Amino acid sequence: MRLADYIEHKPVLTTKRLTLRTMTAEDADDLKEWTPDKSLYAYWGKSPGKADKDPALLFASPQKPTKSFHWGVVYKAEDKVIGEAWVYLIENDRMAKVALRFSKKYHGQGFAAEALKRIVRFCFEETELQRLWTDVDVRNTASVRLLERCGFTREGLIRQGKMVSTWCDYYLYGLLKTDEAAKGQPPA
């Protein structure tokens, strides 16, 4: 399929422990448990916004059709949204940015790696995307380890650049469909 095939109907991605799916208003209570936590934004490039503080606002108006993806990451064992994942800033149907964030309660348990590996497989096997990239604050050592464990290559350092609305040093990471790390990603 092509990115254009997903504009109206977003796919549901699954792993052993997770389901990545479009969120609905029923997920607002799950999000409310963790998205207002200011500590989650230490390296996010911004403070919590209105919708982070009151997740019901995410569902107040209909979403416009887009090639971008925004999934809620559901932990199957608890049937609860424990994280979010994005594939966005899609350029020429060839390159896209990825981003993840998870409730602190679920950090350090491999959920982010499991979700990211599944997203990589989806992007490279089920769309025409050829490159995924992201940026990460140099102080965010957990995310640096995650990206490298998932095969992303550190491609550069931006010194005192603007990441969303914060000035900081940050790394650029990328993964190409042709990279060995992207080939044959084992099912999560």
Q: Read off the pLDDT of residues 164-186 as tens digits, 9 standing for 90 and up.
A: 889 999 999 999 999 988 875 55
**Domain housing 120:** 3-130
Crossing angle of helices 111-126 and 141-149, in 10° steps, is: 50
Report how far residue 48's alpha carbon sits from residue 45's, in angstroms, rounded to the nearest whole number: 10
188 vs 70 pLDDT, higher one = 70
Task: Tell me the average pLDDT of the chain.
Answer: 94
Q: CA-based diameter of the chain, in Å?
A: 42
**pLDDT band of 128, cuts 50, 70, 90:** very high
Instruction: Confirm whether 13 is domain-assigned.
Output: yes
What pLDDT, on the 0 to 100 scale, is given for residue 1?
87
- CATH number for the domain spanning 15: value is 3.40.630.30
Structural domain includes residue 164: no
Using alpha carbons, select from 112, 119, 77 the residue that is nearest to residue 98: 119
**Within a domain: 23:** yes
Q: What is the pLDDT of residue 184?
A: 59
pLDDT in tens, 78-119: 999 999 999 999 999 999 999 999 999 999 999 999 999 999
How many independent structural domains does the chain possess?
1
**Is residue 62 situated within a structural domain?**
yes
pLDDT at 160: 97
Instruction: Please say if the pLDDT value at position 187 is more than 60.
Output: no
Q: What percent of the chain has pLDDT over 70?
A: 97
Amino acid at 64: K
